[in-house]
Structure 1
Amino acid sequence: MKTAAIIGGGVIGGGWAARFLLNGWDVRVFDPDPEAARKIGEVLDNARRSLPGLSDMPLPPEGTLTFHEDMADAVRDAAWIQESVPERLDLKLRVYKSLQEACDPDAIIGSSTSGFKPSELQDGALRPEQIMVTHPFNPVYLLPLIELVPTDKNPPEMVSKAKDVLTSVGFFPLHVKKEIDAHIADRFLEAVWREALWLVKDGIATTEEIDEAIRMGFGIRWAQMGLFETYRVAGGEAGMRHFMAQFGPALKWPWTKLMDVPEFTDELVDMIADQSDAQSGMHSIRELERIRDNNLVGMMRALKTQNYGAGAVLNQHDAAMKSGALPTLDQADLSQPILTLSRAVPLDWTDYNGHMNEAKYLEAFAAATDRFMEIIGCDMEYITSGGSYFTAENHIRYLDETHAGARIEVRTQMLLGQGKKLHVFHSMYEGDKLLATGESFLLHVDLETRRPSAPSDQIEDAMARITQAQADLPYPEGAGAAIRKPV
């Protein structure tokens, strides 16, 4: 079993412990804080809840976590040692001196430092070739970036070994080949942070307005395409060179407090344009736009499920459009199957075959069921009061394919609505084309006991109205069907 030693068990150290532990490593922690076990335990609770969901494969069996009062005991025989003590150079150097007297000479010693250069950390070390910067981002157990910063004292095979270990536990090691204070990412963060402080101090914006400016716009773009590729797309068909020619002069304008900028020479333009071509030139601008749009739709739809950031804006917009988009009980023609869903097929509903994924048909039919529940009176207010419907059985027939951007509708016929039983039959259309049918049987449940129960009189009355109105409808083709046993 591989062993990692974590020196310092704060938020960052706890994140490292979780990352290694949940990827099958044994983890030893040294931290003199008497609350270290509790704090790391709470970080682990969050990691166990979230990290496994990132993977479509099962994680290896969890390693063993132990806490040690002696640092030498914690690092002995460890293959990876991660230092995450407070940002004091004198403290870090004392820690390295103590742990190098006890650790395996072949172990990698990584530092979580956000600012110190590796040459500073190696100064006076017993074995400087062991020590390098491995700077993570919080939460360490979820975000993939690690800034791996060695010096010429670190042998290439040691750097390669570090990359392999980091990659094996799901990180993206970004090899920073020239050391600099604060590495790469934190220099961006620091620039944005300084400008934000000036905007607040000068009364231009509040902290909330600044956060909204980031998370509603460029923050989402940067998350999936970075800085230079985003600007390459902004340059249109002419690409990065056109973007720089158009916006380069703005660097001399007093837009920000950060006015120490490099001279915008032809040499700099050529360097950036050439690097951008190497980075993204295999895609046309139209292809990059589609990649960007696919990513943005997927990310913002994920935010919708949490009702957070840009996702909350989308939910508010949906709520505004919902009024009048689908009929209520009194508005619907109850003698016909009731319109319960009308929407476009989103980009992230398609699969490797280029059409709507089979699971998304169920998602659409589930949304139609939810709308039918609202129509009969089982809305969120009713559910909050303690009653709801649970689905007991589903059956879907896939009759035709549909694609991203297609407008689909679902119409719902109630086959049974009496007492605690609800049986509905959904038909999905793209125009006049029948795409699929979905049949669902549900039971009304008391949410306190989690057992079947009778619905409210209001729901019973609504179901009775629909039953009477739809009495003359023929039993739909495919209702009650099942997969036949092969002959």
Structure 2
Amino acid sequence: MVKFTEAACIGGGVIGGAWAARFVLAGIDTKIFDPHPEAQRLVSEVMANAERAYEMLTQAPLPAKGTLSFSKSLEEAVQGAQWIQESVPESLDVKRRVLNQIDAAADPQALIGSSTSGLMPTELQRDMKHPERMFVAHPYNPVYLLPLAELVGGKKTSRSALEDAKAKLATVGMTGLIIKKEIDAFVGDRLLEAFWREALWLIKDGICDTETLDNVIRYSFGLRWAQMGLFETYRIAGGEAGMRDFLSKYGPSLTWPWTKLTDVVDLDDELVEKIAAQSDAQSGQRGIRELERIRDQNLVGIMHALKAGDEGRGWGAGKLLADFESHLRKTAPRADVTPSQQPLKLLEVKVPAAWIDYNGHMTEYRYTQCFADACDALLLLIGADADYVQGGHSYYTVESHVRLLGEAKLGDALYVEAQLLPSDGKKVHAFMSLHRASDGRLLSTYESLMLHVSSSEGRSVAPLPEIMAILQPLLDAHANLPAPDGAGRSVGAGKR
């Protein structure tokens, strides 16, 4: 079964709390057990950052938030959970003991994932009665935004458990990459460890300071890696001849004494103080929560850019985001389409930080985005969804007119209403209004004309009957409403 509704997080630290946030924001009821006296405060801070990030991340209809509760015991937390995520300290003895407790108390069908950064799953599952459902689910921080979990099975893990975990992760916006063989530190951390070791030598030897090193990463190959990873980036470097040419040109340099990857740096007191002092000078003026918020906002912006890549089909993490939004739209409860002589309420949104311009107000094109999202909501309402588009039919906006009447600010809750103007379905003429929820003030209006087309024929055609069965009663219900103020205006027209 792919869909799941209940999860448990054993350990509520940085990783465990972020797992809980990922689950809760995907509509999954989640129980946490962590005996730390500050656990509830720490998890609440992580949850606040996650909610802020999701407001920036997507305007797709998120499900109603799952409940978040704290249990008095591990046994209480895992009762009824279909996915149990262990995120206790990185100690084999501690993790093995906790996993054995989970195994004894949980439903035998429940999946058990460990957030370990490098311990072998075969060692972790050694004494479990049901080891076939235990695996490593190694995420990356922040778990609520970064969509990868490395799925690593031990010798007793069933392939079906890994496949089930992968399918379940997709429903919360993550991708589970099944690693073929278990190995210390898996894939990601082995790469990071090698990179980290060389970075420490560069600091120790006085080649650069921490800020210079970070700038080298974020201003160059870090940007390439965010979209194409390592091998695809180097394929491009090989030119038209591709990877074989790249390896023939640059492969011999691997024998040159460039790096110290086989040498372990001595993290003595002097080097620790050197690194800590440089790090304090680099970013010590910002608190950790502020840095987390900056990180989250930047990650959202990068994912949005990647979502627009490949001609709108998405690329890398952006494609995963687009796929998650498609899942959210398909699984969202259908809006009420009962015909009524009232405008249709199509969209509710809160203005995130990424939408604010240098004047402190919502930037101009975001008004249009609100209306574009409302148009998408209208099409979903009448059944012109992704499946309908794949079937060869769609609506395209052929004309629109926006009026900006008021200012929206950071955190404002907004909503869009729409009145359908007389049209035949082949054309849909709509007048929309954007309001601030706190006082109902009208901030903007949008008039649009959408045309129904056949993709295969390349021309305008009448909608299929199932669309008209929903659309026509709505058109009839709005037919006798008075024309909205501003409908039919041209640019620069005076007030009526």
CA contact (8 A) 2:125 2:154 kept: no
Which of 242, 258, 261 lines up with 2:261 in the alignment? 258
Is the aligned partner of 1:42 residue 2:45? Answer: yes
Instruction: Describe the shift of the 1:479–1:72 C-alpha distance in structure 2 as closer, same or farther (beyond 3 A).
Output: same
SS of the aligned residue for 2:151 comes to strand
CA contact (8 A) 2:11 2:87 kept: yes
Residue of structure 2 equivalent to 1:375: none
Is the aligned partner of 1:180 residue 2:193? Answer: no
Instruction: Describe the shift of the 1:235–1:157 C-alpha distance in structure 2 as closer, same or farther (beyond 3 A).
Output: same
Is the aligned partner of 1:201 residue 2:214? Answer: no
Instruction: Describe the shift of the 1:42–1:164 C-alpha distance in structure 2 as closer, same or farther (beyond 3 A).
Output: same
SS of the aligned residue for 1:104 comes to coil
Query: CA separation in 1, counterparts of 2:86 and 2:95?
Result: 8
Query: CA separation in 1, counterparts of 2:297 and 2:120?
Result: 39
Residue of structure 2 equivalent to 1:400: none
Shift of 1:100: 1.6
Instruction: Describe the shift of the 1:438–1:72 C-alpha distance in structure 2 as closer, same or farther (beyond 3 A).
Output: closer
CA contact (8 A) 1:389 1:442 kept: no
SS of the aligned residue for 1:110 comes to strand
Give 4+ residue runs of structure 1 displaced > 3 Å after superposition: 305-308, 347-353, 388-391, 435-443
Residue of structure 1 equivalent to 2:33: 30
Instruction: Describe the shift of the 1:478–1:23 C-alpha distance in structure 2 as closer, same or farther (beyond 3 A).
Output: closer
SS of the aligned residue for 2:157 comes to coil
CA contact (8 A) 1:52 1:58 kept: no
Report the TM-score, using the length of structure 1 for normalisation.
0.56
Query: CA separation in 2, counterparts of 1:439 and 1:8?
Result: 51
Is the aligned partner of 1:95 residue 2:98? Answer: yes
CA contact (8 A) 2:56 2:297 kept: no
1:83-162 pair list within 5 angstroms: 83-162=86-165
CA contact (8 A) 1:252 1:259 kept: no
SS of the aligned residue for 2:136 comes to strand
1:172 alignment partner AA: T
Moved more, 132-141 or 72-81: 72-81
Shift of 1:20: 0.5
Shift of 1:156: 2.1
Query: CA separation in 2, counterparts of 1:348 and 1:77?
Result: 40
CA contact (8 A) 1:390 1:442 kept: no
2:48 alignment partner AA: D
Query: CA separation in 2, counterparts of 1:102 and 1:73?
Result: 8
- Give per-residue Cα distances to partners, 1:289-321, cap 9 Å, x unaligned: xxxxxxxxxxxxxx9x9799x99xxxxxxxxxx
CA contact (8 A) 1:7 1:31 kept: yes
Shift of 1:98: 1.6
Query: CA separation in 1, counterparts of 2:222 and 2:173?
Result: 23
Instruction: Describe the shift of the 1:348–1:3 C-alpha distance in structure 2 as closer, same or farther (beyond 3 A).
Output: closer
Residue of structure 1 equivalent to 2:213: 210
Which of 61, 73, 81 lines up with 1:58 in the alignment? 61
Residue of structure 1 equivalent to 2:13: 10
CA contact (8 A) 2:87 2:115 kept: yes
Instruction: Describe the shift of the 1:138–1:155 C-alpha distance in structure 2 as closer, same or farther (beyond 3 A).
Output: same
CA contact (8 A) 2:29 2:66 kept: yes
Instruction: Describe the shift of the 1:160–1:440 C-alpha distance in structure 2 as closer, same or farther (beyond 3 A).
Output: closer
1:70-469 pair list within 5 angstroms: 70-258=73-261
Identity of aligned residues (%): 52
Query: CA separation in 2, counterparts of 1:173 and 1:90?
Result: 26
Residue of structure 2 equivalent to 1:479: 492
CA contact (8 A) 1:18 1:141 kept: yes
Query: CA separation in 2, counterparts of 1:88 and 1:30?
Result: 18
Instruction: Describe the shift of the 1:179–1:479 C-alpha distance in structure 2 as closer, same or farther (beyond 3 A).
Output: same
Question: How many correspondences in the alignment?
Answer: 305
Instruction: Describe the shift of the 1:192–1:480 C-alpha distance in structure 2 as closer, same or farther (beyond 3 A).
Output: same
- Give per-residue Cα distances to partners, 1:227-266, cap 9 Å, x unaligned: 0000000000000011111111110111111269xxxxxx
1:480 alignment partner AA: A
Shift of 1:441: 6.2
- Give per-residue Cα distances to partners, 1:388-408, cap 9 Å, x unaligned: 9999xx99xxxxxxxxxxxxx
Shift of 1:122: 1.0
Query: CA separation in 1, counterparts of 2:6 and 2:402?
Result: 51
CA contact (8 A) 2:113 2:134 kept: yes
CA contact (8 A) 2:33 2:72 kept: yes
SS of the aligned residue for 1:101 comes to helix
SS of the aligned residue for 2:9 comes to strand
Query: CA separation in 2, counterparts of 1:240 and 1:351?
Result: 25
Instruction: Describe the shift of the 1:390–1:190 C-alpha distance in structure 2 as closer, same or farther (beyond 3 A).
Output: closer
Instruction: Describe the shift of the 1:238–1:259 C-alpha distance in structure 2 as closer, same or farther (beyond 3 A).
Output: farther
Instruction: Describe the shift of the 1:352–1:19 C-alpha distance in structure 2 as closer, same or farther (beyond 3 A).
Output: closer
Shift of 1:152: 3.8
Instruction: Describe the shift of the 1:83–1:478 C-alpha distance in structure 2 as closer, same or farther (beyond 3 A).
Output: closer
RMSD of aligned Cα (Å): 3.8
SS of the aligned residue for 2:207 comes to coil
Shift of 1:151: 2.6
Query: CA separation in 2, counterparts of 1:307 and 1:172?
Result: 20
1:49 alignment partner AA: R
**5+ long unaligned stretches in structure 1:** 261-302, 312-346, 354-369, 371-379, 396-434, 446-476
